[in-house]
A and B are shown apart, each in its own frame.
Chain A
Amino acid sequence: MNPKRCAACKYLRRRCPKDCVFSPYFPPNDPQKFACVHRIYGAGNVSKMLQQLPDQTRAEAVESLCFEAKCRVDDPVYGCVGIIHLLKTQIQKTQNELAKTQAEIAVAQTKLSQTHISDFM
């Protein structure tokens, strides 16, 4: 048993076993991290998800789960999908602006070449 229980085991009020799947990713000094993930996914689901992944990808999986869980707590209707919406809107807007600017460059180039031609006439 770990002398210092991880945040997950502390939260779940249980002993923290030596091979605890949560302890490398939920240190005791950050209790909110696990609370958020547990609230949205449930400890059982997170445990299952982590056990299905190779060790080297688990840390990043936990970070992405925490991020999505925090988004869902902050915005219970859209979660991180709200961010995807914002980004897609921004992409659409920037693409439109870029197309407009490129069209204006083409106009400016045409005007410039016409000016050069008239200078030689």
Chain B
Amino acid sequence: MASSSNSYNSPCAACKFLRRKCMPGCIFAPYFPPEEPHKFANVHKIFGASNVTKLLNELLPHQREDAVNSLAYEAEARVRDPVYGCVGAISYLQRQVHRLQKELDAANADLAHYGLSTSAAGAPGNVVDLVFQPQPLPSQQLPPLNPVYRLSGASPVMNQMPRGTGGSYGTFLPWNNGHDQQGGNM
């Protein structure tokens, strides 16, 4: 849960950074606690405080924490890699999906081969029925990367980002610890 910092008379990280008084209704206070100064510094550097204020004001209160965490994630990615930002990570992950899909297709082909040979040898022939059919990536939800970004200049940004509590995406959000098990250095 987001905690308001100005209830303890300590200005939030945003107001501290902007050198202004942190008022009781401060829109930043619940999401930029004073003990995380870097979070706001990055967001301000990339998006600007006024843009973030505008963005948060256009959202429902329950959406704001996730929005701030995703902005902080993007901002840190852009600070680490000024050319590609999050797109470097997306490109890396897309290639990982593609590679895994190829491996899965090959494994399924292998299994089909074993299924046929075991059937021919008189063993039960239902092994193939157990195989998962690979689910295609939901491309309609993924805007095409155009051009496809090379990762030559991209730095590893995944799993090194600010972490919060997550929301409707649950534990799979990049700033949450859960389920971050895929290989690679991202």
Residues of A within 8 A of B (CB): 40-42, 44-45, 49, 52-53, 57, 60-61, 63-65, 67-68, 70-72, 74, 76-95, 97-98, 100-102, 104-105, 107-109, 111-112, 115-116, 119
Chain B residue total in the interface (Cβ 8 A)? 71
Determine which of B100, B104, B149 lies in contact with A60 in the assembled complex, contact meaning CB atoms within 8 Å. Answer: B149
Determine which of A49, A71, A107 lies in contact with B127 in the assembled complex, contact meaning CB atoms within 8 Å. Answer: A107
A70 x B87 contact (CB < 8 A): no
B58 touches A (CB below 8 Å): yes
Other than the known A72-B74, A76-B58, A115-B122, what 12 A-B pairs have Cβ atoms closer than 8 Å? Answer: A40-B47, A45-B46, A45-B47, A45-B51, A64-B84, A77-B59, A78-B70, A81-B86, A82-B70, A89-B172, A91-B100, A109-B114
**Shortest distance in angstroms between B170's beta carbon and chain A's nearest beta carbon?**
9
Cα distance A74–B143 when bound, in Å? 10
Known contacts A60-B84, A92-B181, A112-B114; A78 and B169 CB within 8 A of each other: yes
Q: Which of B4-12, B16-24, B27-35, B132-140 contacts A (4 or more CB under 8 A)?
A: B132-140
Most chain B C-beta atoms within 10 Å of own C-beta, residue among A77, A90, A105? A77
B97: chain A residues at CB < 8 Å are 87, 90-91, 94
B14 touches A (CB below 8 Å): no
B67: chain A residues at CB < 8 Å are 76-78
Known contacts A98-B104, A111-B118; A81 and B73 CB within 8 A of each other: yes
A88 x B114 contact (CB < 8 A): no
**Shortest distance in angstroms between B65's beta carbon and chain A's nearest beta carbon?**
10
A-B complex: 7 closest residue pairs judged by Cβ atoms: A108-B114, A87-B93, A64-B87, A81-B70, A101-B107, A97-B132, A94-B100
Cα distance A25–B185 when bound, in Å? 32
B46 x A88 contact (CB < 8 A): no
Cα distance A40–B74 when bound, in Å? 12
B132: chain A residues at CB < 8 Å are 97, 100-101
Cα distance A82–B114 when bound, in Å? 39
